[in-house]
C-alpha cells in the first residue's frame, strides 16, 4: 500500500489533535519565518530606499491577499487568535470507530476534532438552533446500516461530501465532508476521515479547515444518504 504524502501526514496529525509542545513548536516556527521574511525584505527590497522597500512589501502582500483572500477570511472566521475556543478544538483528540467494507476490508472511521465540534454546533434544523446530535443522535450510531460504508468506495486521498437526510422524503439536513486515506504512519491502515459537517448550503461551506487543510469549495458531492428509517 502506498503511504501518504507529506501534506497528508500533516493533516492526519492535525486531525488527531495537537499537544502543548506542538503549539510551542508551531509558534517558534512562525516566529522564525517572520524574522526571516522581515530581514530578507530589508536586505533585498531596495535596501537603500526605505520608501520603495515599504511599497514593494505592500505590493507583494496585497498581491498575495488578492490571490488567497478567501483563505485569510477563513483564518479570521476560524483562527485560534480570533476565536480562542477553537484552540481547545486543536488540542482535542480525534475519536474513531471500526467498520468493515462490503469487500471485507477493515476501516477505521475517524471523527476529527473539527467534525466533532461541528456535530455539536447549534446551527441545524429549520430554526438553525439544533445540533446534529439533537437531530440524529450520536455520530457513531447511524440508524441505517451501511451509512459510513457508502463513503468508503470514494477514491483515496480525495475529499468529497455526502448529503445527509434524517429520513427518506425530507430535505437535506447537513453535508458531511470526508476522505478515504491509507495511513502510511500506521502501516497503510485504511481510514475514513470525517473532516467536517456543515448546514446543507453551498454558500456556507467555503473556506479552509485549518485542522485538515481542506478547502470545502473544491469538494464535489459523492453520495446522498439517509440517516435512519424514521424520525426521532
What does the longest C-alpha to C-alpha distance in the chain come to?
73
> According to the per-residue pLDDT averaged within each range, which of 31-45, 60-74, 89-103 is highest?
31-45
Closest CA to 173 of 112, 104, 127: 127
DSSP single-letter state for residue 202: G
Cell 470514494 -> residue: 154
pTM for the full predicted model: 0.57
Q: Which residue has the higher pLDDT, 107 or 54?
A: 107
d(C-alpha 68, C-alpha 73), whole Å: 9
Order of all β-strands in the sheet with 189-198 = 95-100, 106-111, 189-198, 174-183, 160-165, 220-226
In this structure, of 60-74, 112-126, 188-202, the range with the lowest mean pLDDT score is 60-74
- Residue 197's pLDDT is 93
At residue 75, the pLDDT reads 52
What whole-number distance in Å separates Cα of residue 57 and Cα of residue 64? 11
Lowest mean pLDDT among 76-90, 92-106, 209-223: 76-90
35-70 residue pLDDT tens: 888 888 888 888 888 888 888 888 888 887 777 665
Where along the chain do its domains lie? 18-85, 92-226
208 vs 216: CA distance, rounded Å: 7
pLDDT of 106 > 50? The answer is yes
164-183: average pLDDT: 92
Sign of CA dihedral 71, 77, 83, 85: negative
Q: Which of 14-23, 62-71, 155-164, 185-194 has the lowest mean pLDDT?
A: 14-23
Amino acid at each position: 500500500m502506498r503511504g501518504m504524502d507529506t501534506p497528508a501526514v500533516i493533516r492526519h496529525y492535525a486531525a488527531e489533535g495537537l499537544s502543548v509542545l506542538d503549539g510551542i513548536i508551531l509558534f517558534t516556527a512562525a516566529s522564525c519565518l517572520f524574522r526571516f521574511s522581515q530581514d530578507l525584505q530589508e536586505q533585498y527590497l531596495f535596501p537603500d530606499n526605505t520608501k520603495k522597500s515599504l511599497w514593494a512589501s505592500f505590493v507583494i502582500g496585497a498581491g498575495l491577499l488578492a490571490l488567497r483572500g478567501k483563505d485569510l477570511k477563513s483564518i479570521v472566521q476560524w483562527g485560534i487568535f480570533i476565536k480562542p475556543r477553537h484552540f481547545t478544538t486543536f488540542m482535542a483528540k480525534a475519536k474513531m470507530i471500526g467498520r468493515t467494507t462490503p469487500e471485507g476490508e477493515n476501516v477505521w472511521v475517524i471523527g476529527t476534532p473539527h467534525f466533532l465540534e461541528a456535530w455539536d454546533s447549534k446551527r441545524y434544523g429549520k430554526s438553525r438552533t439544533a445540533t446534529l446530535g439533537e437531530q440524529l443522535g450520536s455520530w457513531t450510531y447511524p440508524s441505517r446500516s451501511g451509512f459510513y460504508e457508502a463513503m468508503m468506495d470514494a477514491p483515496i486521498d480525495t475529499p468529497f461530501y455526502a448529503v445527509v437526510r434524517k429520513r427518506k422524503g425530507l430535505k437535506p439536513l447537513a453535508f458531511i465532508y470526508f476522505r478515504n486515506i491509507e495511513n502510511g504512519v500506521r502501516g497503510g491502515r485504511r481510514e475514513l476521515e470525517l473532516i467536517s459537517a456543515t448546514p446543507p448550503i453551498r454558500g456556507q461551506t467555503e473556506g479552509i479547515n485549518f485542522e485538515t487543510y481542506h478547502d470545502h469549495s473544491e469538494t464535489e458531492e459523492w453520495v446522498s444518504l439517509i440517516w435512519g428509517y424514521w424520525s426521532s
